[in-house]
Amino acid sequence: MKTPGRNEPCWCGSGKKYKKCHIGQPVPPGFGEELTEVIRAGTRPARPDRVVKGVVSPAPPVPPEIGRPSYAATGEPTERRATNCIKKTADEIRRMRAAGKTARRVLDHVLAAVRPGITTTELDEIAHAKAVELGAYPSPLNYHGFPRSICTSVNEVICHGIPDDRALRDGDIINCDVTVYYEGMHGDCSETVFAGKPDPQSKKLVQTTYDCMMAGIASVEVGGRINEIGKAITAIAHRAGFSVVRDFAGHGIGSQFHMDPQIVHYREPRNRQRIAAGMTFTVEPMINAGSHKCDIWSDNWTAVTRDGKRSAQFEHTILVTEQGVELLTGGDGPPMFQRQLAAGW
Ligand code: MF3
Ligand code: CO
Ligand code: CO
């Protein structure tokens, strides 16, 4: 989800800077689409081959018996953004657990296929087939027109990379972001993994980003404030010499892919909203090796670092309970990148 930069004009049209206006409050739907029209040529990629754009092919079909979100046919959600139902009911929580588990199964399946030589279209096809096999709709497909079923973000791509015909190369890092719509709910998760042997700086970036996500989640408690999440994430990122992406945020999630509350990953002391039991939202920090500044490619999706340095991301969907946080997209055992490192990569 897109948020304005602190010094950019507020979305409300007041003419004031965002930081002097609606900062810390939910951004209405549709805002991101305007901002993505700001396209800057001349990005300097760390791996020049990746700026040569790949070919995006049409997505495979989803069988008609699979339940679809409202935007599946038209590209635009028909619901109004629900600002008054932030806490889930018991039945919604049951279905969120099912959606989260399904998203995790698809993510684990696609991560296991990452290797040098595979194209991101092939990874998309693997994830798409698994989602359909499990009876789920791959949520990105046609969400505001997104052309494929998962996001694949390689090296300097921050997020929303579109699967295409370019093959991964030895030493690449890739984030696979899987969201599924299952039993009327969305479950959203992502991991960054290594394709082949990583360089030391990439190892540090990926480990730090994972630590950021887990520290953000660990800061969540009933009655606590949402701004504790960005505070915890920023402390870890800065200590490692990395920066926190500001232009994309975590989000409430449920019957809608993106809903309230908004979860920014940077420090925002003014966002004093309280966390309540029954909330479900994502924590999905994007951490950059260099500057936090980003550009959007002319496809209006692919977000890349302006300096061409690498970016990593992890994401969980969580449920807040009186007993603590439940990882709705939690897996069995350590994340894939740690298994790769343990295997001697
Ligand atoms: N999964 C992304 C998130 O974490 C959103 C992807 S939107 C898409 O919020 F359209 F690009 F799929
Ligand atoms: Co996601
Ligand atoms: Co998300």
Asked if residue 285 belongs to a domain, the reply is yes
2 bridge partner residues: 248
**Least confident range of 17-31, 80-94, 291-305:** 17-31
Asked if residue 84 belongs to a domain, the reply is yes
Atom of ligand 1 nearest to the CA of 248: 9
Q: Are 16 and 10 in contact (CB under 8 A)?
A: yes
In angstroms, what CA-CA distances link 340 with 89, 203, 329? Answer: 39, 11, 20
Q: Of 11, 167, 10, 142, which is closest to residue 71 (Cα–Cα)?
A: 142
Asked if residue 31 belongs to a domain, the reply is no
Asked if residue 10 belongs to a domain, the reply is no
Asked if residue 44 belongs to a domain, the reply is no
Q: Which residue's alpha carbon is at the smallest distance from atom 9 of ligand 1?
A: 1
- Convert the pLDDT of each residue in 164-195 to its tens digit: 999 999 999 999 999 999 999 999 999 999 99
Number of domains in the chain: 1
Asked if residue 237 belongs to a domain, the reply is yes
CATH at residue 169: 3.90.230.10
Asked if residue 302 belongs to a domain, the reply is yes
Residue 180: partners with Cβ closer than 8 Å, 6 or more residues away: 99, 102, 103, 106, 131, 134, 136, 137, 138, 139, 186, 187
Residue that the structure tokens 């588990």 belong to: 101
Spatial distance between the Cα atoms of 137 and 120, rounded to a whole number of angstroms: 19
Q: Are 237 and 212 in contact (CB under 8 A)?
A: yes
Q: Are 160 and 115 in contact (CB under 8 A)?
A: no
> What confidence score (pLDDT) does residue 279 get?
98
Neighbours of ion ligand 3 (CB under 5 A): 188, 282, 284
Asked if residue 49 belongs to a domain, the reply is no
Q: What is the mean pLDDT of the chain?
A: 90
Q: Which residues line ligand 1 (CB under 6 A)?
A: 1, 140, 143-144, 146, 151, 160, 177, 179, 188, 282, 284, 315
Record the pTM: 0.87
Can you give the residue range of the structural domain that contains 209? 67-342
